[in-house]
Amino acid sequence: MGLVNMIRSILSTKEQNKSEYNKDKEIITKPEVIYSPLEGEVIKLEKVNDPTFAKGIMGKGIAVFPNKGQVVSPVNGQVVAIFNTKHAIALKSDNGAEILIHIGIDTVNLNGKYFLQKVKQGERVSIGDLLVEFDINNIKKEGYDLVTSVIITNTDMYLDIKETEVEVIREKDNLLELTL
């Protein structure tokens, strides 16, 4: 439960955005394509073995089981937060999408072991910029599932979030389409 509260706290701009939207009657997000931050096997979010993500508590999205130990930026934007355990990173795109990339299930328990952060909070990033590297083999040896969830945490700002229909994806391929 601590992780959910931590993520909600870091991404609290969602509620601020909603009140700005209601007050100004202006759309503060734009339609956008979210590119894949990883390469690997695409998995429907509801099949992820973590109820916080599978039930959509944090928002809609998709997951990728990585075959390469790196995460790249799926958007042009800014690093909103990177957890001190380096297993999760939050981004805000230039078009207003708020994205959480959560590497593995319960990997927070590794306390950053096997993760190498490549960016800092507040840093500007472009599509394809390296965000985090991680050691797939050692994380698996420790018994962790590496399925990585890619969540749009401000889901309610979009009319639809369309998932890719491919089964295997490469970095920078279309992963999600956000429409208003």
Please give the positions annotated as active site: 102
Record the tokens describing residue 88, joined without a space.
């999760």
Encode 72-109: b = buried (16+ Cβ within 10 Å), e = exposed.
bbbbbbbbbbbbebbbbbbbbbebbbbbbbbbbbebbe
CA distance 101 to 73: 10
List the one residue out of 80, 48, 77, 52 whose CA is nearest residue 148.
48
CA dist., res. 111 & res. 97, Å (int): 28
94, 30 contact by CB (below 8 A): no
d(CA 161, CA 152): 9
**123-155 core/surface letters (b: 16 or more CB in 10 A; e: else):** eebebeeebbebebeebeeeebebbbbbbbbbb
